Chain A
Amino acid sequence: MREITYRQALNEALAEELERDPNVFLMGEEVAEYQGAYKVSAGLLQRFGSKRIIDTPISENGFAGLGIGAAMVGLRPIIEFMTFSFSLVAFDQVVNNAPNMFMMSGGQFNIPITFRGPNGPAHQLAATHSHATENFYASVPGLKVCTPATPRDAKGLLKTAVRDDNPVLVLEAELLYSSKGMVEPPDEELLIPLGKADVKREGSDVTVICYSQTVPISLTVAAQLEEEDISAEVVDLRSIKPLDEKAIFESVAKTHRVVIVEQDHPFCGVGAEICYRIQKTIFDELDAPILRVSQEDVPMPYNEDLERAVLPNAEKLVTAVKQVCYA
Chain B
Amino acid sequence: MQPLEQRDEVEMLSLMLLIRRFEERASQQYQAQKIGGFCHLYIGQEAVVAGAVAAIRPDDYIITAYRDHGHALARGTTAKACMAELFGKETGCSRGLGGSMHFFDKEHHMYGGHAIVSAHVPLAVGLAFAIKYRDEDRVTLCFFGDGAINQGSFHEALNLAALYKLPIIFICENNLFAMGTSVERSTSLKQIVDRAEGYDIPGEIVDGMNFREVRDKVAEVADSIRKESHPSFLEVRTYRYRGHSMSDPASYRTKEELEKYRLDDPIIRLRAQLTREGKLTNEQFDQLDKRAKETVLAAVKFAEQGPELPVEKLYDYVYFNGAKA
Q: Which A positions have Cβ atoms within 8 angstroms of B? A: 25, 51, 56-57, 59, 61-75, 77, 92-93, 96-97, 101-110, 112, 141-142, 144, 165-166, 195, 241-243
Pick from A67, A92, A242: contact of B126, CB below 8 A.
A67
A101 CB to nearest chain B CB (Å): 8
Q: In the complex the two chains form, is A104's CB within 8 Å of B97's CB?
A: yes
Additional A-B contact list (6), CB under 8 Å, known A103-B98, A242-B324: A62-B122, A62-B159, A69-B129, A75-B130, A93-B153, A166-B321
Pick from B106, B113, B317, B321: contact of A103, CB below 8 A.
B317
Q: In the complex the two chains form, is A62's CB within 8 Å of B153's CB?
A: yes
Within 8 A of A (CB), among B119-150: 119-130, 133
Cα A66 to Cα B168 with chains together (Å): 13
Q: In the complex the two chains form, is B325's CB within 8 Å of A242's CB?
A: yes
Stretch at the interface among B87-95, B225-233, B239-247: B87-95
Q: In the complex the two chains form, is B127's CB within 8 Å of A69's CB?
A: yes
Q: In the complex the two chains form, is A64's CB within 8 Å of B122's CB?
A: yes
Contacts of A75 in B (CB 8 A): 129-130, 133
Pick from B153, B160, B319, B325: contact of A92, CB below 8 A.
B153
Contacts of A67 in B (CB 8 A): 126
| A/B interface sample: 15 pairs, CB < 8 A | A61-B156, A65-B122, A65-B156, A66-B129, A68-B123, A72-B123, A74-B130, A97-B123, A102-B319, A102-B320, A103-B317, A105-B102, A105-B106, A106-B96, A108-B105
Pick from A66, A141, A242: contact of B323, CB below 8 A.
A242
Contacts of B152 in A (CB 8 A): 61
Within 8 A of A (CB), among B64-113: 92-98, 102, 104-106, 111-113
B10 CB to nearest chain A CB (Å): 32
Q: Say yes or no: A65-B126 contact (C-beta < 8 A), given A59-B156, A92-B153, A105-B102.
A: yes
Most buried by B among A74, A107, A195: A107
Contacts of B316 in A (CB 8 A): 107
Q: In the complex the two chains form, is A141's CB within 8 Å of B318's CB?
A: yes
Cα A110 to Cα B322 with chains together (Å): 11
Q: In the complex the two chains form, is B317's CB within 8 Å of A68's CB?
A: no
Q: In the complex the two chains form, is A96's CB within 8 Å of B116's CB?
A: yes
Contacts of B97 in A (CB 8 A): 103-107
Chain A residue nearest to B85 in the complex (CB):
A106
Cα A70 to Cα B97 with chains together (Å): 22
Q: In the complex the two chains form, is B94's CB within 8 Å of A105's CB?
A: yes
- Asked whether any CB of chain A lies closer than 8 Å to the CB of B61, the reply is yes
- Asked whether any CB of chain A lies closer than 8 Å to the CB of B298, the reply is no
Chain A residue nearest to B154 in the complex (CB):
A62
- Asked whether any CB of chain A lies closer than 8 Å to the CB of B157, the reply is yes
Q: In the complex the two chains form, is B321's CB within 8 Å of A68's CB?
A: no
Q: In the complex the two chains form, is B112's CB within 8 Å of A104's CB?
A: yes
A59 CB to nearest chain B CB (Å): 4
Q: In the complex the two chains form, is A92's CB within 8 Å of B98's CB?
A: no
Q: Which B positions have Cβ atoms within 8 angstroms of A? A: 61, 63, 92-98, 102, 104-106, 111-114, 116, 119-130, 133, 152-153, 156-157, 159-160, 163, 316-321, 323-325
Q: In the complex the two chains form, is B104's CB within 8 Å of A106's CB?
A: yes
Chain B residue nearest to A138 in the complex (CB):
B325
Cα A63 to Cα B121 with chains together (Å): 11
Chain B residue nearest to A52 in the complex (CB):
B133
How many A-B Cβ pairs are below 8 Å?
Answer: 153
Most buried by A among B95, B97, B325: B325
Q: In the complex the two chains form, is A109's CB within 8 Å of B122's CB?
A: no
Q: In the complex the two chains form, is B116's CB within 8 Å of A92's CB?
A: yes
Q: Say yes or no: A70-B127 contact (C-beta < 8 A), given A103-B317, A104-B94, A166-B319.
A: yes
Pick from B96, B104, B153, B325: contact of A65, CB below 8 A.
B153
Contacts of B125 in A (CB 8 A): 62, 65-66, 69
Contacts of B320 in A (CB 8 A): 102, 110, 112, 165-166
Chain B residue nearest to A25 in the complex (CB):
B133
A52 CB to nearest chain B CB (Å): 8
Chain B residue nearest to A73 in the complex (CB):
B130
Q: Say yes or no: A61-B122 contact (C-beta < 8 A), given A109-B104, A142-B319, A242-B325.
A: yes
Contacts of B92 in A (CB 8 A): 106
Contacts of A61 in B (CB 8 A): 122, 152-153, 156
Q: In the complex the two chains form, is B119's CB within 8 Å of A107's CB?
A: no
Contacts of A77 in B (CB 8 A): 126
A80 CB to nearest chain B CB (Å): 15
Chain A residue nearest to B323 in the complex (CB):
A242
Q: In the complex the two chains form, is A106's CB within 8 Å of B133's CB?
A: no
Q: In the complex the two chains form, is B157's CB within 8 Å of A92's CB?
A: no
Q: Say yes or no: A97-B130 contact (C-beta < 8 A), given A61-B153, A62-B159, A195-B325.
A: no
Cα A110 to Cα B317 with chains together (Å): 9
Pick from B98, B105, B112, B119: contact of A93, CB below 8 A.
B119
Q: In the complex the two chains form, is B126's CB within 8 Å of A68's CB?
A: yes
Chain A residue nearest to B131 in the complex (CB):
A73
Cα A92 to Cα B154 with chains together (Å): 13
A112 CB to nearest chain B CB (Å): 8
Cα A70 to Cα B317 with chains together (Å): 20
Pick from B116, B127, B129, B325: contact of A144, CB below 8 A.
B325
Cα A102 to Cα B314 with chains together (Å): 12
Pick from A72, A96, A106, A142: contact of B111, CB below 8 A.
A72
Chain B residue nearest to A92 in the complex (CB):
B119
B223 CB to nearest chain A CB (Å): 22
